[in-house]
Amino acid sequence: MSDIEIARKANKKPIQEIGAKLGIPSQHLLPFGHDKAKVSAEYIKSVSGNKDGNLILVTAINPTPAGEGKTTTTVGLGDGLNHIGKKAAICIREASLGPNFGMKGGAAGGGYAQVVPMEDMNLHFTGDFHAITSAHNLLSAMIDNHIYWGNELGIDQRRIAWRRVLDMNDRALRQITTSLGGVSNGFPAEAGFDITVASEVMAILCLASNLEDLQRRLGDMIVAYRRDRSPVYCRDIKADGAMTVLLQQAMQPNLVQTLENNPAFVHGGPFANIAHGCNSVVATTTALKVADYVVTEAGFGADLGAEKFFDIKCRKAGLSPKAVVIVATARAMKMNGGVAKADLGAENVEAIKKGCANLGRHIENVKKFGVPLIVGINHFVKDTDAELEAIREYCTAMGVEAVVNKHWAEGGKGIAEMAQKVVDMIEAGGAAYKPLYPDEMPLAEKIETIAKEIYRADGVSMDKKIRDQLKAWEDAGYGNLPVCMAKTQYSFTTDPNWRGAPTGFELPVREVRLSAGAGFVVAICGEIMTMPGLPRVPSAENIRINDEGHIEGLF
């Protein structure tokens, strides 16, 4: 059966029953249909005094076209923990709507380790992204409107730092000119649209601890500069209050369920290549107050997702993760070892041994954050014993345990062994989380530290203009912010085709941006696209409601 066929056969329970597993009373669950709910802000406040459960991060090797199953493992581990009698919840990100009409939509997990309702999660879900789109574009309209009515703030219209967003793959909107057509339409200007997940509002929603913090961060966003280069803030435009009103409901985390009827928080969805790529702080902290074990994931490989999880999310939200799972597959190891996708079906132990260098580097990297780790091998039916054994041997040599997990085929019981090992690891109490670099390190040095310690670059190339910009931000009081690296997810380098464990390269920093509201400095390395386009034959052409009333073509 395909993922969607399995998902459609799910024996879903009313969302109130799922909430009850965590002790959330039904009046504090705002239902969206019968199988989705938002947890009320009042309830979240009421449990703030509870003891925190144990936070487990699931991360992975660099993604390959073979697929790794990071979300599948996150879902499976949550079910596995419940299977062995623990009170566990998972926390994952929401899917972006636009890209589903280009390529097929993403399931939340796979096989018997999925979160449902899958259709809703790939469509409007509970409307969070629409709220972010509205809030973002309200600010855009208010900036242009301010200039239209006299520009009292003295905005330099050539230096507007705030674009517009749509949750749509639409390359025609990347670069546009606005306000054409005469006096009543304003002053013609260059502008453009990004996809909603790339919005700083999205990053803020995912990092804010509550509504007050949300509004303060929105107010802090820099939207433009004056001719003297002084910044104009969202607060100056007086948009922060209305944006907060638009986002009030979106700030409440969404509760759904796994195929095994275990609780799953699905909230927030920032890009992991240009933003910090983690689900919301509100969802994670709430889950920790109501569950003993919380399994979450971070976008892409450990070089991007886990590093940002530790250095941005955990640092800023005061989280202290207790264990890390690094997901690997025999297939992905083979691709890292140089095998083409077409040849993945054949056993190739040598390629696996070679490809394990990628896994090894992620293991070394994660160890730097002080949290004990385990390798979860996501089992595929064609994997051979010799291949799996080769990965295990490699991990043992590095002093790390590796477990083969069969949650895809068997659900929670297929990953129960690893779930128990994770619990044992946590109970052994070895976790002592620490970020990679201290707050007070200069910004350029933070970039260099990540480049050298995590990517293993020989150094960073950054021209004087960028160094001056970083220095100027330090002088303006932003020096204590962490750095958010924007880089291809496919390689430790900026070359997406350079797999394995590269050495002997420099990391080129092309541009730096200040996300003053989200609270990080973005360092853009290589090419990054903030508004995707549709392919020659978009999947939208085949999406429809079939005669049985099912959505076809979305998955």
Work out whether 34 is an interface residue with its own copies (CB under 8 A). Answer: yes
Residue from 51, 172, 399, 475 in contact with its own copies (CB under 8 A): 172
Which residue among the candidates 12, 104, 413, 452 is catalytic per the annotation? 104
71, 82, 244, 530: which one binds its own copies (CB under 8 A): 244
- Asked if 210 is part of the footprint of its own copies (rule: CB under 8 A), the reply reads no
- Return the number of the residue (30 or 161) whose C-beta is nearest its own copies: 30
108: three-class secondary structure by DSSP: coil
Which of 234, 235, 246, 244 has its CA nearest to residue 210? 244
10 marked as part of a ligand binding site: no
Contact status: 536 vs its own copies (CB under 8 A): yes
Active site includes 309? no
Active-site residue, selected from the candidate residues 36, 38, 86, 93: 93
The yes-or-no answer on residue 492 being catalytic is no
**Pairing mode, if any, of strands 551-552 and 544-545?**
antiparallel
Binding piece for its own copies, criterion CB under 8 A, among 354-362, 427-435, 475-483, 544-552 = 544-552
**Angle at the Cα of 515 (from 514 to 521), degrees rounded to 5?**
55
72 is an active site residue:
yes
Distance (Å, rounded) from C-alpha 62 to C-alpha 327? Answer: 10
| Distance set, CA 294 to CA 110, 265, 378 (Å) | 19, 10, 20
Nearest distance in Å: CB 187, its own copies: 9
Residue 248 interacts with its own copies (CB under 8 A)? yes
* DSSP symbol at 243: H
3-state SS, one letter per residue, for 295-358: EEEECCCHHHHHHHHHHHHHHHHCCCCCEEEEEECHHHHHHHCCCCHHHCCCCCHHHHHHHHHH
Site string for its own copies, 126-155 (x = CB under 8 A): -x--xx-xx--xx-xxx-xx--xx------
- 211 binds its own copies per the rule CB under 8 A: yes
- Could you tell me which residues are beta bridge partners of residue 544? 552
Catalytic pick among 125, 309, 310, 380? 380
Q: Is 341 a catalytic residue?
A: no
* Shortest separation between residue 384's beta carbon and its own copies, angstroms: 41
Active site residue 178: no
> Is 25 an interacting residue with respect to its own copies (CB under 8 A)?
no
Annotation says 93 is catalytic: yes
d(CA 232, CA 159): 10
Task: Say whether 272 is catalytic.
Answer: yes
Using the minimum distance from each CB to its own copies, give the nearer residue, 90 or 97: 97
CA nearest neighbour of 32 among 111, 168, 130, 136: 130
**Phi, psi values for residue 306, rounded to 5°:** -65, -40
Q: Is 64 marked as binding a ligand?
A: yes
Name the minimum Å distance from CB 32 to its own copies: 6
DSSP state at residue 51? P
Which residue, among 341, 421, 337, has the nearest Cα to 387 in the 3D structure?
A: 337
- The least distance separating its own copies from the CB of residue 543, rounded to whole angstroms, comes to 4
The footprint of its own copies on this chain (CB under 8 A) covers a number of residues equal to: 70
Contact status: 441 vs its own copies (CB under 8 A): no
Give the closest residue to 95 by CA, choosing from 309, 299, 246. Answer: 299
Q: Which of 300, 309, 310, 492 is catalytic?
A: 300
Residues 59, 327 contacting (CB under 8 angstroms): yes
- Both tokens of 77, joined, read 């581990």
Active-site pick, 129, 309, 310, 408: 408
In sign, the C-alpha dihedral spanning 227, 231, 237, 242 is positive
> Judged by CB under 8 A, which of 170, 389, 453, 506 binds its own copies?
170
Is 503 a known active-site residue?
Answer: no
Separation CA 240–CA 223 (nearest Å):
12
Q: Is 80 annotated as a binding residue?
A: no
Q: Rule CB under 8 A: is residue 533 a binding residue for its own copies?
A: yes
Query: Which are the catalytic amino acids?
Result: 70, 72, 93, 104, 272, 300, 380, 408
Q: Give binding residues for ATP as ranges.
A: 64-71
Residues making up the binding site: 64-71
The contact set with its own copies (CB under 8 A) reads 27, 30-34, 97, 101, 123-124, 127, 130-131, 133-134, 137-138, 140-142, 144-145, 148-149, 166-181, 184-186, 189-191, 211, 215, 238-239, 241-242, 244-246, 248-249, 533-534, 536, 538, 540-545, 551, 553-554
